[in-house]
Homo-oligomer: A and B are copies of this chain.
Amino acid sequence: MEKVKRVNRMVALTKLLVDSPQRLISLNTFCDFFNIAKSTLSEDLSSVKGSLKHFELGTLETVAGAAGGVRFIPYRKGERANQVLEDVYQRLMTSDRIIPGGFIYMSDILYDWHVVSRLGEIIMTRFATSHPDYIMTVETKGIPLAVMVARAFNKPLVIARRDSKVTEGSSISINYVTGSSGRIQTMSLTKRAIPPHARVLIIDDFMKAGGTAKGLAELVAEMNGVVVGTGVLVATQSPSPKLVNDYEALFTFYSIDEQTKKIHIEPIFDEVDRT
């Protein structure tokens, strides 16, 4: 490809990096694509990195060596995280979300890719040090969020099923007791999904007693994997403690008053240094 102006190259470089979060792209790939020398690319990358940092839009990470390259990490923390949580909070507070029986209708938020992609970045940032190999959820409502967490981590997604499907081959099933209703349910996962010793981050939309999260953890254990964390969008305040000890939520749900139509829910904001 013929040489182009630096600013045009930088636009394309940014696009390619941002579009593949966490994916390590070799420097040679870019040198070939833009037909430039490695020294020129290094200058370009350092400028992209500086720009992203200046506007707090994420981080470029360079890995040295033959197997090295560069990747974009879509960290979202501080004000940029809190703003997203505040927006979701405002949407969650509207009284027409109350469904008879004390439930909140959340599917419109859970299926809104724009919000969910940003929530996925927040969850990735909060679990960054847990270094998962796989992101796992159970059908259905948590799937879009889990897809976006998988995107932010650039790791494969694994979806447990409520029944075992013939089109996924041989699978492992477990029975578990839902903590809230006390019913016995079945979850299954195809044996191909997780290799032994894989590090698994569990994602779900809602946690009440934690029975589902515990069931997912048991499935992981059956496959000789390791659960490195459990992240949920909303966790209820009670019951406490839950069936899993170690989880992190973006929102805590306290109560619904069906008479006054008030929903009591609180975001768990990032701490921001306001000095």
Contacts and interface: CB of A to CB of B under 8 A. Distances in A.
Interface in A37-51: 47-48, 50-51
A74 to B, nearest CB: 8
A267 interface: no
Contact of A48 (B11, B50, B141, B156): B11
Given A111-B158, A139-B139, A57 B166 contact: no
A7 to B, nearest CB: 5
A6 B117 CA distance: 28
A52 interface: yes
Interface string A87-120: 0000000000001110111011001111011000
Interface of A: 4, 6-12, 14-16, 18-20, 23, 47-48, 50-52, 54-55, 57-58, 99-101, 103-105, 107-108, 111-114, 116-117, 139-141, 143-144, 147-148, 150-151, 154, 156-159, 161, 166-169, 190, 192-193
B18 A18 contact: yes
Given A18-B18, A19-B18, A143-B144, A159 B11 contact: no
How many copies of the shown chain assemble into the complex? 2
Given A113-B154, A114-B151, A144-B147, 13 more contacts: A6-B7, A7-B47, A11-B51, A15-B57, A20-B114, A99-B166, A101-B166, A111-B159, A113-B148, A113-B151, A114-B154, A117-B151, A143-B144
A11 B14 contact: yes
9 contacts: A4-B54, A11-B48, A12-B54, A15-B18, A15-B55, A107-B192, A111-B147, A111-B158, A143-B144
A77 to B, nearest CB: 16
